[in-house]
Structure 1
Amino acid sequence: MKAAPLLENHDAPLILLGGTLCNGRLWQPLIEQLNVAHYSCVTLSGGDSAHALATQLLEVLPPRFCLAGFSLGAMVALQMVALAPERISGLALLSVNPFSDLPENAVNRRMAVREARKAGMTRWLSENLWPKYVAPHRLDDAALHHTIMQMAEECGIEIFARQTEVAITRTDHRAALASFMAPMLILNGAHDAICTPQHHYALATAAPHARWITLPESGHFLPLEAPQRVAIAMRNWIQESIQ
């Protein structure tokens, strides 16, 4: 029997914020598992800072919504919590580093954009980030590699440049979670070399009421590596958020 759609006839749609070089393809396997009725997948492309992106989203989103963010999208989601916690009926953070970026990272981040522009997105990502994107046993997964590279090519170098500025200028908003009492879910992969288990421990420490789940066979790209397991956790979180 097909599960009844979540959020049907409800005024708190599910908003999904993608990460760097991610579009709706990131969430599609998860959406198919969740069977949600009202949702929107957001590509982070309209601003050069987390504050700008969060402000723009808050201007167009409904008064209440369930918010899930992946990687850079989770950083923007934390900014939204800091700005308007009363509008968020539930918060899910996937593969996130909650800290401010180190100032010395800016040079290398901007250099990466220049190198990707010169070499081409797929070649540069395959050589530099693909080994960190997924769990070791998925490195030879051609279909997964194709999906991630396809998203990157569809986003393009200019979006990559703007998203890089968002990462550089982001702010640590863990303090906002102390008074955020809506249902909160933290998901990470045990093999994530980009947003490590230690990053998620710091986040969970700041939000002791949150449910924290580590997927043992996954790396950074949880929604594509383990959509079924992510869906189980998020389905429970959604049900709590709309009660």
Structure 2
Amino acid sequence: MTRLPLIDNSHTPLVLIGGTLCTARLWGPLIERLNVSAVICLTLASADSAQESSRQLLPVLPPRFLLAGFSLGAIVALQMAADAPERLAGLTLTSVNPLADRPENAVPRRAAVQAAREQGHGEWLSGSLWNHYVAPTNRHNRALHDTLCLMAEETDSETFSRQTEIAISRRDNRAALRGLRCPVLILNGEHDPICTPEHHRLAAECAPKTTWVTLNLAGHFCVLESPDNAAAPLRQWIMESLICE
């Protein structure tokens, strides 16, 4: 891997928000390839809604920052864009469903938390979600499988429960995208049955300054499945956002 020149974003840190059952491990390969000077990795662990998460995070973050969210983290990032658009130098939504959750999803979502508690998070993820999380070509990638299971195992049941409540209670915040004046990147995997290409189209069509990139041979966890291909548009988005500052 060729290391690209350092991007000095010390005055505008890159804030990364992970998704359900994710830790900072999610971002490791990507951070190495982006080679930026200031990164803040956040795990959603202490709030039961995107609105509460936004209220907790905004006061402790720098006045201006680049914001990128993955999956559930993208839902919270979109809420932060609705609450404080003037704080964002740029916004990236990766593997996002920008719509409100369907009411009928609440019962199976909460049942999944209980099943994971009983089985162990890693074993439950392997049996229930692994085949939905990655592209078919990556289903035999043992290292990737073990990384996702390890992140799940590192996430306690209370955190998983709170993350689930964020998903259940999420709002449709697409209107926030229409008001943004900063560069917006929409990033997704081609083979994602959870947050589909259609979900990303719905997000991309709402933002006036949007770049939409779909990664081939990647699924929901595109940032781990294809870090080289994910890093290229993210690095371009960072440089564009800093130029616009």
Q: Structure 2-normalised TM-score?
A: 0.96
**Quick one: which amino acid aligns to residue 238 of structure 2?**
I
Q: Could you say which residue in structure 1 is the equivalent of 2:5?
A: 4
* Alignment partners' CA distance in 2, 1:150 and 1:126: 10
Q: Could you say which residue in structure 1 is the equivalent of 2:100?
A: 100
Q: Could you say which residue in structure 1 is the equivalent of 2:65?
A: 65
1:21 lines up with 2:21 in the alignment: yes
Q: Per the alignment, in what secondary structure is the counterpart of residue 242 of structure 1?
A: helix
1:161 lines up with 2:161 in the alignment: yes
Is the contact made by 1:192 and 1:220 (CA closer than 8 Å) also made in structure 2? yes
* Alignment partners' CA distance in 1, 2:33 and 2:91: 19
* Alignment partners' CA distance in 1, 2:36 and 2:49: 29
Is the contact made by 1:91 and 1:182 (CA closer than 8 Å) also made in structure 2? yes
* Alignment partners' CA distance in 1, 2:222 and 2:8: 22
CA deviations 1:111-145 (Å, max 9, x no partner) are 11011111111221111111100000111111000
**Quick one: which amino acid aligns to residue 4 of structure 1?**
P
**Quick one: which amino acid aligns to residue 130 of structure 1?**
W
* Alignment partners' CA distance in 1, 2:3 and 2:96: 32
* Alignment partners' CA distance in 2, 1:123 and 1:31: 28
Q: Could you say which residue in structure 2 is the equivalent of 1:87?
A: 87
Q: Per the alignment, in what secondary structure is the counterpart of residue 90 of structure 1?
A: strand
Shift of 1:2: 4.2
**Equivalences for residues 64-213 of structure 1 within 5 A:** 64-213=64-213
Q: Per the alignment, in what secondary structure is the counterpart of residue 27 of structure 1?
A: helix
Q: Per the alignment, in what secondary structure is the counterpart of residue 8 of structure 2?
A: coil
* Alignment partners' CA distance in 2, 1:158 and 1:239: 38
Shift of 1:210: 0.5
Report the RMSD for the aligned CA atoms in angstroms.
1.0
Shift of 1:166: 0.4
CA deviations 1:175-200 (Å, max 9, x no partner) are 11111010000000110011001100
CA deviations 1:131-175 (Å, max 9, x no partner) are 100000111111000000001111122111110000000101001
Is the contact made by 2:133 and 2:219 (CA closer than 8 Å) also made in structure 1? yes
CA deviations 1:33-90 (Å, max 9, x no partner) are 0111100111111101001111111010010000000000000000000000000000
Is the contact made by 1:7 and 1:242 (CA closer than 8 Å) also made in structure 2? no
* Alignment partners' CA distance in 1, 2:8 and 2:159: 31
Q: Could you say which residue in structure 1 is the equivalent of 2:56?
A: 56
Same amino acid, percent of matched pairs: 55
Where do 4+ consecutive residues of structure 1 move more than 3 Å? Answer: none
Specify every segment of 5 or more residues in structure 1 that has no aligned partner in the other structure, as ranges: none
**Number of residues paired by the alignment?**
242
